[in-house]
Structure 1
């Protein structure tokens, strides 16, 4: 104790240890704030590629501002080469402690807790972050503003970093071996190595296992050795919940089983969809929580309000006909939709809208994909075009990445031309940590603009920008002379 981490975080006491490292209560000596510092094992960052991924994941996690997600405040690498994360310090107990002491929870209490977990998952999934290691130890219960059982989720972005370390040259452990101490909450596809990407449905599976445990007081699969445990998770149905709890409301077990489906396509397509299914049993939406303060969410909502005020709250259906979107844009739109519905339902919906299925992979794609995603956003989301912004973020992860935020801004006009056939973007201003883009278009649309702002926001973060803000401050679709995107970042 007393060690100084990162030059300013003085360790006060050990809070816990695990397969990835140790968590300490510490003090930021610069401002006197109590924080939690998670120090990862040095061997997890023994190559530069893995460390770079850790930094990217941590920056994205730090950009999430949600009451049910523990805030990431800082990160770095210690003198011994061990990466560390600095997070808000939360006083409370973990779900693991609660179940160990109390056993099964009353159904409404369990669903109330799970509803908050799903609300937090929804927020981070919208930023393209998947937890991949959701378990009772990573869910804290605290008291906030007089509310008991207030959920805070830990460790977003950590599992992806550990998986990257496991795939590094010379790694001796499997991804599961490095990413978690036990695979009780791992999805079948994680255990089989079928997914390493940003498929949010692995978190839906883990949420189903967590809810099962809260209701039954024990995990669904408990075997004497790792091989049998993994086989059971992949192949066997979970024991019926009603064998433990005959008092469960009708239909609640069906929700748990759908979340725990062996095939990802049979699970709930999103955290919000599972949350909606749990509302009759005690879950609730977080509309009464403090409004999000991150600039991106605020801007999307402001655009929606401007649109409604201008009596344009119904999105335009004609987005310019065929051949106006780059195939990468269409691919990103489809990628986002596939995370929220089955491929079969997506194909049927696309065909109902007159869209070619599967979409073409070269040349230019149909602009009506934008309207289709908007309709899904109204049905499954908040109607603020966040799915379009998420597609823009997905675009930023395709292909090569830029070495610096300045290069992202410098190439923005060219990127617009490759994404959209019509319209012209130009760099109006660029400097150290800021830039301004102006976009003229013969038929301006908010959908296009939101996709592009989402792309810029993610591309800047991937290029090393911190505290990134990409703001659509003027919109031709809302009566302004042209689109204006103001960008700022720190390095």
Structure 2
């Protein structure tokens, strides 16, 4: 796919409605989110839908809590695209799934900001109609912003303004939407309040812990007031409850009124929420110690998959959750730096396939020969001792003897063209925590296909990443990391290179200094 003026960097997410790419806008050399719709504009209704989204978002791009729209157009095959502000912090739904409920004061502040964005939208004649945690993104400075105006309504004579039930997100839709009533500002107020309640409780309002609820049962449950939440000031819950009133004539009527009510809540008496530990993470049938990120029972992840028809990656308008596998790929020919064998690191002990330590057991000659064979196979010196990736059965995974650090890369159609190698003593974005031979059923240089392979997913997992952190690096808790799969470059793959790497990256544009997975 070629879009003049833009260079694709990587795929951030894909779903039934389209794909979001990280791209570089060449004219100003900035990274952006490029959202390409999979539905060609085949009819006048389709064109109106696309122009509604572009116009609605464009009207509000100057607001500090609305994700900016930079550009839009249509591909030769009729598929429309939008160029949006890149939000590396992910969506609030991503963070909810990774870390569990938010603290009340943070939720109140998020609510004030997004309610102000809705107030600006309503003043401009725009109704969002799909406010939910997945559509609130975090920019590079940590600020929340409202995204995805795909269902936005700008009531105009002759233009349809009612959404069908199939286009709704049931967990956050107001009661009147199920009756197909005309949308109103009060509907957006309800959806924002429901989103804030979900951030506090771990799941949408009116949903039981088992997340099993039919649409008819949900519509009946919406007539009941939502309960108080442990550790959340009753004044905050009362404001949310008023904004989620079943009768919109009783509900908080406007976004600016909701914003002011949230801002007036006294948070001094708040008590921190207690989050639940995550369940153990299985590796090939065996259970390991629990992962760090909490995953409370009843959070919205299962519900979203069962009821929400939109693609989570698309409604994120340019990000994929920190817990997801996002593929990457270096140009092995571009490696620089010293020979890892000269760092003085010594393998400790032996492993199932790691050989004996130098100078012990079978003798240094055999150990050196084994190390040379491994280096020829993997391209670098590797170890299995103290290497969590080596414990994944059948994966032929190891750790590099010394730290490997990488920057960004350029790829086309899933294949890497080049990637920068960094000295780990200098600020860098990514570090390798595992290196492995491609599984027989997954020999491909296409990063997307490789990342979906079951064996690769076990090796390049956040559980393996977390267990690989060494020394003071333990302060980098696992929920802060993205996982990248790095295949060989296209040229190296064509020459027979079948080695891939798993790299960890701390998001939000932060940099690492020094080795956090291996010495150096």
TM-score normalised by the chain length of structure 2: 0.46
**Which structure's CA Rg is the greater one?**
2
Q: Which has the higher helix share?
A: 1
Name which structure has the greater RCO, CA cutoff 8 Å, separation 6+.
Answer: 2
